[in-house]
Amino acid sequence: MESKHVHQQIAAMRQSFFDEEVLDEFFSQLEQLEDQNNPNFVEEVFTMYFRDSTTLLETVEQAMKTISITLAKLDKILHQLKGSSASVGAKKVLNEINKTRQVLEKGNLEGTKAGIWEMRKEYESLKAKLEPYFQV
């Protein structure tokens, strides 16, 4: 049946997320939080996440363009991103963020840029994957 089919699809997608480690156990935790009182909780959270992170990422990119970017500020933004990503269970993105932060700490600006780029990539892919998931 349709619904069954859809369910299966959802299940399959979800499983693939975990397999690819795009999402981690926190995502499951989020799902647990969802219930009758809180329908679509996960979706809401992710919507918010995407919205905020997009802004943050843009800020980061802009900051990178400015010559006099302070590492501290950048770090702060990354930290915030880290927190958000961790909360939603976006594992890969989180990993990338961590890597970038480490590079940043060392003061390697170029490396940081590369890291940020990677982050963005992961982030985009996460977004792409989750969107259909939610639509279903």
Partner 1 sequence: MTMEEKMGGSNREGEALDRFPVGMRVLAVDDDPICLKVLGTLLLKCQYQVTTTNQAISALKMLRENRNRYDLVISDVNMPDMDGFKLLELVGLEMDLPVIMLSAHSDTKLVMKGITHGACDYLLKPVRIEELKNIWQHVVRRKKPDSKDRVNALNQDKASGGIGEAVQTSTSSSDQKFNKKRKDQNEDEEDDGEDNEHENDDPSTQKKPRVVWSVELHRKFVAAVNHLGLDKAVPKKILDLMNVEGLTRENVASHLQKYRLYLKRLSSVATQQANMVAALGGKDPSYLRMGSLDGFGDFRTLTGSGRLSSASLSSYQPSGMFGRLNSSAALNLRGISAGVIQQGHPQTLSNSINGLGKIQPVGLPANQNQNGTLFQGIPSSIELNQLSQNKSDNHFGELNPVNNPNVFGVATNFPDARMTVGSSSSSLSTPSGSPLLLQANTQQAQHSGAFGNQSSLRVASLNQESFDMGVHGFSNFVDNGRCHENWQNTVQLSSFPSNSLSTCEAFSHEQLHTNNLQESISWRSSHLNDNPIDLSASMANAGLEDSRGDMQCQISPSNNVIHNIDYAAKQQWGENSSFAGADSLVAGAPYVQHLEAGKLAFNTKLRSNEDILFEQRKPQNEFSQNNFETLDVISSSMIKPEQYNETGMMEGEFGYDAFPLGSCI
What is the 3-state secondary structure of 86-113? HHHCEHHHHHHHHHHHHHHHHCCHHHHH
Q: Is 40 in the site for partner 1 (CB under 8 A)?
A: no
Site string for partner 1, 10-39 (x = CB under 8 A): ----------------x--xx-xx-xx-x-
Using the rule CB under 8 A, which residue among 45, 93, 103, 126 binds partner 1? Answer: 45
Structure tokens at 80: 């915030």
Q: Is 60 in the site for partner 1 (CB under 8 A)?
A: no
Using the rule CB under 8 A, which residue among 6, 11, 12, 48 binds partner 1? Answer: 48
Whole-angstrom distance, CA of residue 61 vs CA of residue 123:
14
* Per rule CB under 8 A, count of chain residues that contact partner 1: 24
R_g over Cα of the chain: 16
CB of 79 to partner 1, least distance (A): 6
Whole-angstrom distance, CA of residue 93 vs CA of residue 118:
9
DSSP-derived letter for residue 34 is -
Interface residues toward partner 1, by CB under 8 A? 26, 29-30, 32-33, 35-36, 38, 41, 44-45, 48-49, 52, 76, 79-80, 82-84, 86-89
